[in-house]
């Protein structure tokens, strides 16, 4: 996967909180920090995001996206 964003943070999903429209994903980074991303319920389902999986928090401008390899 190649992307233009330069702020890519590797971590593991700590929690997935699915709502009726959007979901909150907590990503525990390799450092002691945690990033929280709000993404659509459809994105969670399409990516098959589950607790304990390795993902990347990709930060571009004011957005945080979640990627899975």
CATH code of the domain containing 27: 2.40.50.100
Tell me, yes or no, if the pTM score tops 0.95.
no
Task: Please provide the average confidence, as pLDDT, over all residues in the chain.
Answer: 89
In a domain, 14, yes or no: yes
The domain tally of the chain equals 1
In a domain, 1, yes or no: no
Asked if 11 contacts 54 with a C-beta cutoff of 8 angstroms, the reply is yes
Question: 59 falls in which pLDDT band (50, 70, 90)?
Answer: confident
Please check whether residue 17 lies inside any domain of the structure. yes
Q: What is the pLDDT of residue 51?
A: 94
Please give the residue range of the domain that contains residue 43.
Answer: 7-67
H or E element that contains 30: none
The predicted pLDDT at position 8 comes to 87
pLDDT (tens digit, 9 = 90+) per residue, 1-33? 788 878 888 999 999 999 999 999 999 998 788
- 42 within 8 A of 23, measured Cβ to Cβ: no
């Amino acid at each position: 996967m190649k992307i233009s964003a330069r702020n890519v943070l590797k971590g593991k999903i700590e929690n997935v909180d699915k709502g009726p429209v959007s979901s909150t994903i907590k990503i525990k980074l390799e450092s002691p920090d945690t990033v929280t991303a709000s993404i659509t319920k459809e994105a969670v389902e399409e990516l098959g995001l589950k607790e304990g999986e390795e993902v990347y928090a990709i930060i571009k401008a004011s957005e945080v996206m979640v990627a899975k390899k």
